[in-house]
Amino acid sequence: MKVFNGGERGTIIILVAAAMTALLASLALVVDVGHTAVQKSRLQKALDAAALAGARFLPDDPEAARARAVEYAAYNGVELEAGDVSFSDGNLKIICSKERPVDLFFGPALGIDSWSIRARSAARVGAVKSAGGYPVLPLGILDQELAFGQLYTLKYGGGMGTQGWYGALDITRNPAQFPDPGAEHRTIPGGTGARDYEDNLGRGVSFNLKVGDRLYEKTGNMSGPTRDGLEERLKACPVHGASCWSSPPDWRTSSSDCARFVIIPVLRYLNPRGNEPDFEIVGFAAFFIEGQPGSGNDCVINGRFLKTTLSLECDPAAGTGYGLTGVKLTD
C-alpha cells in the first residue's frame, strides 16, 4: 500500500486545485460561448425580419423601407440607427447590419466583461416568377409597358376580341392533368368547358403557374360564365363581404386581401401551329378590378394596374418585372 508523505500530499492538493480551476474556467467559457451564440442568433433573426420588412417598399421609397426596418428590428429587441440600414443595386436591395456587446456571466472573473457580436442581413426585391398557389385568374394580358393606376381591359366584350380571343385562358382544374411542377416550359392542359372557366374565375386557378408555362386561349365571349364567376368571387370577399360586388371599394384605399385584387399572367404570343399552346407566361401583374361585367358585347372586365410586393417566389436578378414583386434574403 502506497503511503504519501506530507510533501507529496501537498503537491497532489495543488494539482487537484489547478485541475479544478481549469475545469471551472472551461465550464464558464462554455456557458459564455453558448450565451453569446444565442444572442448572435437572436440578432441575426431580428435583422432578417427587418430586412424583409423594409424590402417591401423598394425600390420606390427607400426612406419608408429604412423606417420599417428600424421599426421591425425594435419589435425584436434590436435598436437600429439610420446608418445601420443601407441600400444598393439601384435601391433593389436593403442591407441591415448591427454590432453590439454581449455581457458575459463568468468572463469578468478572467478580466473579460463582454464580447462584441456582429450580424448582417440583406434582402432584395425581384419579379415574381411563381404564383406560389395564389389564386391567379384565368385571364391574360399581352406583354407591354404598364402604368401604375391606369385602367386596362383584361377581358373584352363581344366584337372586341382578336380573332375570337377575348382575354380568357383555358386551364384545367383536374389535378391528374397537372404537369410536373419542376419541369421547364410546361404546357398547361386546357380543353375545358365553360364551367371550368367559371370556377377558375370565381375561385382562382388551382395549379401553381410559373414563368415559362405555356397556355391555351379560351375562345368565345362567354358572357354568362364570366359574369357568374366574377360575381361568385366578389361576393365572397374576405374584406367587404357581398357588398364588394354591388358597391365596389376604392382601389386607392383597398388592401390586397380584397377579392377585387387579382393576379394575372403577362403573356407572349407564340404564333402556334396546330394544337400548340398559344401563349407563354413571361411574368405576373396585379390589378384591381373595377365595376362589374355586363352581358353580351358589354361583358368586359377592366382593372387598374398596381405595383405591390407579396410573399411569393421571386427572381432577384429580374428587377421589378411587371410591378408585382417578392422579397428574398440574399448575400
pLDDT of residue 265: 96
Residues with pLDDT less than 50, the chain: 4
pLDDT of residue 206: 76
CA-wise closest residue to 17 among 25, 6, 5: 25
* Distance between CA atoms of residues 91 and 163, nearest Å: 43
pLDDT of residue 224: 94
Collapse the DSSP code of 244 into the 3-class scheme (helix H, G, I; strand E, B; otherwise coil) and give the result: helix
- What angle do helix axes 62-75 and 6-55 make, rounded to 10 degrees? 140
pLDDT of residue 279: 95
- What angle do helix axes 223-235 and 194-203 make, rounded to 10 degrees? 30
* Contact by Cβ (8 Å): 126, 284: no
- Per DSSP, 108 falls in state G
- Between strands 141-142 and 261-269, the pairing is parallel
Q: Is 184 left (phi over 0), alpha (psi -120 to 50) or beta?
A: beta
Q: Give Cα separations from 235 to 62, 207, 229, 322 (angstroms).
A: 37, 23, 10, 28
Q: Give the three cell numbers for residue 295.
A: 352581358
* Distance between CA atoms of residues 277 and 215, nearest Å: 5
pLDDT of residue 226: 95
* Contact by Cβ (8 Å): 327, 56: yes
* Distance between CA atoms of residues 292 and 227, nearest Å: 8
